[in-house]
Amino acid sequence: MKRIEDAPIDGLAFKRLVEAGLTWLRTNQQTVNALNVFPVPDGDTGTNMLLTMQSAYNEISSLGHTSVSQMAAAVSQGALMGARGNSGVILSQLWRGFSRGLHGVEVIDAPSLAKAFSEARDTAYKGVVRPVEGTILTVSKDIAAAVEAAVTEISDPIELLRVAVKAADESVQRTPDLLPILKQAGVVDSGGKGLYFILEGMLRLVDDLPLDQAESTVQPLSAMNLENAMEDVEEGQDWEVVVDFRPNGELDLRTFYGKLEEMGTSIQVGEGDGMYRMHIHVPLENRYTPIEYIMEVGTITKVAIENLLAQMDEIEHRAQGTKIELANVEPGQIAVVVVSPGAGISRIFGSLGACAVVAGGQTMNPSTKDILESFENLPTDKVIILPNNKNIILAAQQAKEVTVKKVHVIPSRNIPQGLAAMLHLDPDGDLEAIAGRMEKSLENVVTGEITIATRTVEIDGVNVKDGQVIGLLNGKLAISSDSLEHAVLEFLEKAGAADYELITLFYGEDMKHAEANRIADLIREKYPDQEIEVQEGGQPHYQFIISIE
């Protein structure tokens, strides 16, 4: 196979570049995920961008187009339908613009590449109602500016790609200066970093550098999201091994990662208080190999080995056994589609009149295609979508753009807002009027989320230690505490709960009903004049979602 720089960049060469970008992003997925602003378990930017890129590549994996124009158009379509989360949607918009810039182009040259980067920037900015600087948008803008300035002197598209990669790297490093919350958290923008890895992967292919050796990074133990690793199961790598250990001395991360990469995939390493946790997917015959290796470098304290195929069968079986009654919709009626993170919450939405539920929430953002498929076959052309998560709104809006149905996206940013909106549903009412009342209702709900901090940080004057219980008030970090009950009570005081009538607790999948009731009784003691309700939510990661009305 010819090296990229030895032949024109036609459709087939472009396909190889896209695959390299995907591979390098996958290799550095956890690095991107770890760049989370708030210390909450929703570091999923890397996962969302990876799944979006995977969908883009799946669209071209079997294509043999020699025309760059045709290949780029297919990449754009795949990214559009597979887009997940805000970062994935913006990435899909970048590919859409990039494809426009290459329309009619058979072979990429420097001017056409510069035009593609410029169109990518313009399309992404137009796709966001209120662009925020210091994000992936800024990185795309800086890339475009750099290649526009350089193309007058550079005629080789590969050299222009080098300019783009350098500009992306420098732009990512500047993001904390443009977005104060990044500087507070001590991180760079995760979406911008993901875009950098995609472009750097292309350049690494050109330079014949490995694409499967990750930056040697360690994340906090509490930030390890092993649920997301289930989405990365590769054929043959169907055993999951998790080992907790204390190293004999200072751990050489580069060597450690290198050895693990010889054994399997989906590698994650976390650290806390001198203890390390290693996660890996391996084939059956290698399931003990990571354990034997770690015994050489440290003292093992805990081991877990799971059959991933059996795990996935169990998850599917549980999902089939969870019966959720949904509303029927007749032709001409309004159909409401909701995104829900848990079975309990889904049942509540169903009882309020939702006719379709898309599984999703923190760390599991549904794609544009997932949302589109939830309503395309419903026997009505009037649809309302409640995303119920700030990171799903853009994907919902993108689904609206690719259907002929009359769709309204109500920008609900959390579950309580979505439930409040459902109270205004009249299936036989006027679509515009119902959507208007639903959107207006979002202003009347105070929302809380209680979870465990994934790292030590100070944001907005709140000091948080890794492992503490934290509370978010209307999406903003508000409190930290050493116990769950104190965190809930402190949160309610911060939210001014005494001035409201109803407090509803939706408890998560890892909490027993009795424990939720115990905490509810503590709330009743402090707020005897308020009505306190306890509902099974079933959501992961968050011990409580709280609605105050």
Q: What is the pLDDT of residues 290-318, one digit of tens each?
A: 999 999 999 999 898 888 766 555 544 44
pLDDT digits (tens, 9 = 90+) for 398-456: 999 999 999 999 999 999 999 999 999 999 999 999 999 999 999 989 999 999 988 78
Q: Which residue has the higher pLDDT, 41 or 188?
A: 188
The C-alpha atoms of residue 326 and residue 351 are separated, in whole angstroms, by 7
Name the percent of the chain lying above pLDDT 90. 68
Angle value at C-alpha 249, between 245 and 253, nearest 5 degrees: 75
Give the other-Cβ count within 10 Å of 375's Cβ: 25
pLDDT of residue 320: 47
Rounded to whole angstroms, the Cα distance separating 138 from 26 reads 23
For residue 126, the SS3 value is helix
For the segment 472-481, what is each residue's pLDDT rounded down to a tens digit? 999 899 999 9
Query: What confidence tens digit (pLDDT) does each residue in 125-166 have?
Result: 998 888 889 999 999 999 999 999 999 999 999 999 999 999
pLDDT recorded at residue 325: 86
With b meaning 16 or more CB within 10 Å and e meaning fewer, what string describes 532-542? bebbbbbbbbb
Q: What is the pLDDT of residue 1?
A: 44
**Encoding tokens for residue 45?**
């930017």
Q: What pLDDT score does 12 carry?
A: 95
* Mean pLDDT of all residues in 15-34: 91
So what's the pLDDT on residue 217?
Answer: 58
In three-state form (DSSP H/G/I as H, E/B as E, the rest C), the secondary structure along 334-346 is EEEEEEECCHHHH
* Full set of structural domains in the chain with CATH: 4-206 (1.25.40.340), 219-302 (3.30.70), 322-444 (3.40.50.510), 446-548 (3.30.1180)
Helix intervals (H) in 219-276: 226-229, 253-261
- At residue 186, the pLDDT reads 86
Q: Which two tokens stand for residue 455?
A: 């790292």
Q: Which two tokens stand for residue 217?
A: 């990074």
Using CA atoms, how far apart are residues 138 and 507, in angstroms rounded to an integer?
Answer: 38
Tens of pLDDT, residue by residue over 340-382, are 999 999 999 999 999 999 988 777 789 999 999 999 999 999 9
Binning pLDDT at 50, 70 and 90, where does residue 58 land? very high
C-beta neighbour count of 305 within 10 angstroms: 14
Question: What's the rounded Cα separation, in Å, for the pair 202 and 132?
Answer: 27
* Structure confidence at residue 178 as a pLDDT band (50, 70, 90): very high
Nearest Cα to Cα of residue 265 among 234, 222, 294? 234
pTM of the model as a whole: 0.81
pLDDT for position 323? 66
Q: Confirm if 429 and 384 have CB atoms less than 8 A apart.
A: no
Average pLDDT over residues 63-89: 95
Confidence tier at 321 by pLDDT (50, 70, 90): very low
The end-to-end CA distance of the chain, in Å, is 64
Say yes or no to pLDDT of 324 above 90.
Answer: no
Which is nearest to 390 in space by CA: 98, 89, 138, 107?
Answer: 89
Q: What is the pLDDT of residue 488?
A: 95
Number of H helices, E strands in the chain: 21, 17
Give CA–CA dist 50/47, Å, rounded.
Answer: 5
- Is a pLDDT exceeding 70 seen at residue 222? no
* Per-residue model confidence as pLDDT tens digits over 193-220: 999 999 999 999 999 998 887 655 555 5
Residue 158: how many other CB atoms lie within 10 Å: 17
- d(CA 333, CA 430) in angstroms, rounded, equals 9
Beta pairing class for 462-464 and 275-282? unpaired
* CA–CA dist 267, 265 (Å, integer): 5
Q: Are strands 275-282 and 239-247 parallel, antiparallel or unpaired?
A: antiparallel
Neighbours of 74 (CB within 10 A): 22
| pLDDT over 80 at 238, yes or no | no
pLDDT at 120: 97
Task: Indicate the pLDDT class of residue 237, thresholds 50, 70 and 90.
Answer: low
CB 271 within 8 A of CB 211: no
Q: Between the CA atoms of 269, 272, 287 and 236, what dihedral angle is there, to the nearest 10 degrees?
A: -30
pLDDT for res 102? 96
Strand order in the sheet with 298-307: 219-220, 265-272, 275-282, 239-247, 298-307
User: What CA–CA distance (Å, rounded) separates 177 from 114?
Assistant: 27
Give CA separation, 158 vs 98, 101, 108, 219, in Å. 16, 17, 10, 34
Which residue do the tokens 């992936």 mark? 136
| The pLDDT of residue 29 | 87
pLDDT tens column, 248-268:
988 888 888 888 888 988 788
Comparing CA positions, the residue from 35, 45, 118 lying closest to residue 83 is: 45
Cα separation, 508 vs 279, in Å, equals 25
Q: Which pLDDT does position 227 carry in this prediction?
A: 52
Q: Who's near 440: CB < 8 A, 6+ residues apart?
A: none
Q: Which residues pair with 335 in a beta bridge?
A: 383
Residue type at position 59 = E
State the virtual CA torsion across 483, 487, 488, 494 in degrees, nearest 10. Answer: 170
**What whole-number distance in Å separates Cα of residue 117 and Cα of residue 157?**
12
Q: Which long-range contacts (CB under 8 A, 24 or more apart) does 185-188 make?
A: 185/36, 185/37, 185/38, 185/457, 185/459, 186/457, 187/35, 187/36, 187/37, 188/35
Sign (positive or negative) of CA dihedral 333, 334, 339, 342: negative
pLDDT of residue 71: 97
